[in-house]
């Protein structure tokens, strides 16, 4: 492949990942174009961009899912490449094909790789035919009745999953077979809303597994390397909220085996660009292919922190046709990194998304602390998008020090005007089982009572009530305002 020099990149996304990509583009001397729905007009991403293009749709999400919006913005600005970030069109093979037809470079894998590995059903079939470890699964390709019949043969518990996406969208556990049909319907609706594709499949649900993923890079010349594994087991509603690397408690042999399997899967597909191969790790140390994400991951910063490799820059260089200029033995992981996803949500009410205006929005800083952020003070958090506000990433020489630094970073994170999971994350990090590395995907429900917000004392309740009363003008003005006859005297003293 002949090298292509990218001059202008349009980022087909929103929020913190756009700011993240812009930083790498700026370091490389490449111009960055940002598309935005009016709801995001005042966002940091729009303010950082070299050029901006307003887009619209039936809904804010639809605006970012419109292929025509992105193509039109590229033509308007002369962008010669598109970075999709994650979510939206990032794993849409038809989008990648359309860009190729318009002679616009897609910063990601080939449409063929996305079709194969970005579609969870096709990816599983591929891995099965090539002897990679898989948990039993079924697809809905042959109709609902066949789906139900095969499900009965596998047995419960089953996990229903969207074929064309990730991030916990369209995922449901079925523990009673009579609930399967309803779960399929709900999953299809969610998959269509978030990914534009209602295909789903089901796999045997492994109880108390760990979620381990491996970051891989492949160039256009057949070279594939990995950048180590990440522990992603701390999840609520099938969505990760804490990720770290290296994964605690893995033997060197198991770690090497998982990473080698990830590289073999990527090599077998002829994978190009950055991708993540995800596995379920059972309590008996058996591991199964889960899926491959053919895009940058939300949690990629922890890998960057321990390896010193800019993964977004590597994506751009590979897309230009450059070879990976280092070997597997050159990849050196040092220290420990933890990422905390800061969400606008009510952790005490089943993590329901929260809305409101960011009255105070103050992120931490300092040694070993990185913040990937997509919001600023004064912005309104709506229900239109995923409620993630920012990612706090910390680095230290070992895991205990990284946990300590993460808690301190949360202590210096101030968000007022909308409910967040800041205190919940602190309770997670402080839990003895987490600190001991005893994690699995059922950690949050397992320790739900320990992680619940502690009850307020009578003194705390009284102080809060007093503060609320004093902030209410209807209460404070009559109580403290001077009567007019005295106020008119002014500052007179006897």
User: pLDDT tens digits for 155-168?
Assistant: 888 888 887 766 66
Question: What is the band of 146 on the pLDDT scale with cuts at 50, 70, 90?
Answer: confident
Q: Is 480 exposed, middle or buried (0-12, 13-18, 19+ CB in 10 A)?
A: exposed
Nearest to 68 by CA among 58, 83, 55, 84: 55
Q: Which of 113-122, 253-262, 423-432 has the lowest mean pLDDT?
A: 113-122
Q: Which of 142-146, 173-177, 483-487 has the lowest mean pLDDT?
A: 483-487
Is the model's pLDDT at 1 over the cut of 60? no
Q: How many CB atoms lie within 10 A of CB 83?
A: 30
The confidence score (pLDDT) of residue 26 equals 98
Nearest to 89 by CA among 65, 120, 113: 65
Q: How many CB atoms lie within 10 A of CB 165?
A: 27
The confidence score (pLDDT) of residue 168 equals 67
pLDDT tens, residue by residue, 58-107: 999 999 999 999 999 999 999 999 999 999 999 999 999 999 999 999 99
Round the average pLDDT of the chain to a whole number and report it.
92
The confidence score (pLDDT) of residue 482 equals 63
The confidence score (pLDDT) of residue 492 equals 60
The confidence score (pLDDT) of residue 336 equals 98
The confidence score (pLDDT) of residue 56 equals 97
Is the model's pLDDT at 269 over the cut of 70? yes
Q: Which two tokens stand for residue 492?
A: 């007179």
pLDDT tens, residue by residue, 22-36: 999 999 999 999 999
Q: How many CB atoms lie within 10 A of CB 236?
A: 21
Question: What is the band of 2 on the pLDDT scale with cuts at 50, 70, 90?
Answer: low
Identify whether the C-beta of residue 337 lies closer than 8 Å to the C-beta of residue 395.
Answer: yes
Q: How many CB atoms lie within 10 A of CB 252?
A: 7
As a whole number, mean pLDDT of residues 316-336 equals 97
pLDDT tens, residue by residue, 395-420: 999 999 999 999 999 999 999 999 99
Is the model's pLDDT at 471 over the cut of 80? no
The confidence score (pLDDT) of residue 188 equals 85
Nearest to 48 by CA among 90, 89, 16, 92: 16
Is the model's pLDDT at 494 over the cut of 60? no
Is the model's pLDDT at 490 over the cut of 90? no
Distance CA 43, CA 14 (A): 9
Nearest to 132 by CA among 115, 117, 154, 118: 117
Is the model's pLDDT at 484 over the cut of 90? no
Distance CA 114, CA 391 (A): 26
Distance CA 425, CA 406 (A): 9
Distance CA 99, CA 366 (A): 41
Question: What is the band of 338 on the pLDDT scale with cuts at 50, 70, 90?
Answer: very high
The confidence score (pLDDT) of residue 485 equals 64
Give the position of tokens 């994978």: 271
Architecture of domain 8-107: 3-Layer(aba) Sandwich (3.40)
Question: What is the band of 142 on the pLDDT scale with cuts at 50, 70, 90?
Answer: low
Torsion of CA 405, 407, 412, 416, to 10 degrees: 150
Question: What is the band of 456 on the pLDDT scale with cuts at 50, 70, 90?
Answer: confident
299-320 as b/e: b if 16+ CB within 10 A: bbbbbbbbbebbbbbbbbbbbb
Strand 239-245, strand 224-236: pairing: antiparallel
Domain ranges for the chain, please list them.
8-107, 136-204, 210-451, 456-494
The confidence score (pLDDT) of residue 466 equals 86
Q: Is the dihedral of CA 353, 165, 262, 333 positive or negative?
A: negative
The confidence score (pLDDT) of residue 488 equals 67
According to CATH, the topology of domain 136-204 is Dna Ligase; domain 1 (3.30.1490)
Residues 6+ positions from 87 with CB-CB distance below 8 Å: 13, 165, 167, 194, 386
- Of residues 185 and 481, more confidence is placed in 185
Residue 456: HSE in the Cβ half-sphere, 13 Å Cα cutoff: 8
As a whole number, mean pLDDT of residues 277-286 equals 94
**% of the chain with per-residue pLDDT over 70:** 95
**% of the chain with per-residue pLDDT over 90:** 73
Nearest to 47 by CA among 416, 385, 389, 376: 376
Give the position of tokens 């303010």: 47
Distance CA 173, CA 206 (A): 11
Element (H, E) at 184: helix 180-195
As a whole number, mean pLDDT of residues 110-120 equals 92
Catalytic residues: 295
Question: What is the band of 203 on the pLDDT scale with cuts at 50, 70, 90?
Answer: confident
As a whole number, mean pLDDT of residues 410-439 equals 98
- Secondary-structure class of domain 210-451 per CATH: alpha beta
- Of residues 12 and 198, more confidence is placed in 12
Distance CA 210, CA 232 (A): 8
Rounded (5°) CA angle 108-112-117? 80
């Amino acid at each position: 492949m002949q090298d292509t020099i990218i001059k202008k990149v349009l980022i087909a996304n929103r929020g913190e990942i756009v700011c993240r990509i812009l930083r790498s583009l700026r370091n490389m001397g490449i111009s960055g174009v940002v598309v935005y729905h009016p709801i995001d007009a005042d966002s940091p991403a729009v303010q950082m961009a070299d050029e901006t293009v307003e887009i619209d749709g039936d809904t804010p999400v639809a605006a970012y899912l419109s292929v025509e919006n992105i193509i039109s913005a590229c033509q308007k600005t002369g962008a010669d490449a598109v970075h999709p970030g994650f979510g939206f069109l990032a794993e849409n093979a038809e989008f990648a094909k359309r860009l190729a037809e318009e002679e616009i470079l897609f910063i990601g894998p080939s449409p063929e790789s996305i079709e194969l590995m970005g579609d969870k059903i096709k990816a599983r079939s591929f891995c099965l035919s090539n002897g990679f470890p898989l948990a039993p699964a079924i697809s809905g390709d042959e109709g609902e009745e066949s789906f139900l019949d095969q499900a009965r043969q596998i047995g419960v518990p089953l996990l229903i999953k969207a074929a064309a996406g990730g991030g916990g969208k369209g995922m449901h556990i079925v523990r009673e077979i009579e609930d399967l049909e309803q779960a399929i319907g709900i999953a299809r609706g969610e998959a269509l809303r978030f990914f534009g594709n209602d295909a789903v499949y089901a796999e045997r649900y492994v109880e108390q597994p760990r979620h381990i993923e491996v970051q891989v890079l492949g160039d256009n010349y057949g070279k594939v390397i990995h950048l180590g594994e990440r522990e992603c087991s701390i999840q609520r509603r099938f969505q990760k909220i804490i990720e770290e690397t290296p994964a605690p408690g893995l033997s060197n042999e198991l770690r090497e085996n998982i990473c080698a399997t990830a590289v073999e899967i990527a090599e077998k597909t002829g994978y190009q660009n950055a991708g993540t191969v995800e596995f379920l790790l059972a309590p008996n140390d058996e591991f199964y292919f889960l899926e491959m994400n053919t895009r940058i991951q939300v949690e990629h910063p922890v890998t960057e922190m321990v390896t010193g490799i800019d993964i977004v820059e590597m994506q751009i260089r590979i897309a230009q046709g450059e070879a990976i200029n280092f070997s597997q033995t050159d990849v050196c992981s040092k220290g420990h990194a933890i990422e905390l996803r800061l969400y606008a949500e009510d952790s005490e009410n089943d993590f329901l998304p929260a809305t409101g205006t960011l009255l105070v929005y103050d992120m931490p800083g300092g040694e070993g602390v990185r913040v990937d952020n997509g919001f600023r003070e004064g912005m309104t958090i709506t229900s239109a998008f995923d409620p993630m506000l920012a990612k706090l990433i910390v680095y230290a020489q070992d895991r205990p020090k990284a946990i300590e630094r993460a808690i301190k970073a949360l202590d210096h994170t101030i968000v007022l005007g909308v409910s967040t999971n800041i205190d919940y994350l602190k309770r997670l990090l402080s839990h003895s089982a987490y600190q001991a590395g005893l994690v699995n995907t059922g950690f949050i429900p397992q320790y739900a009572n320990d992680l619940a917000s502690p009850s307020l004392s009578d003194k705390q309740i009284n102080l809060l009530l007093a503060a609320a009363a004093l902030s209410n003008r209807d209460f404070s003005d009559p109580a403290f305002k001077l009567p007019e006859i005295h106020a008119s005297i002014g500052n007179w003293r006897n």
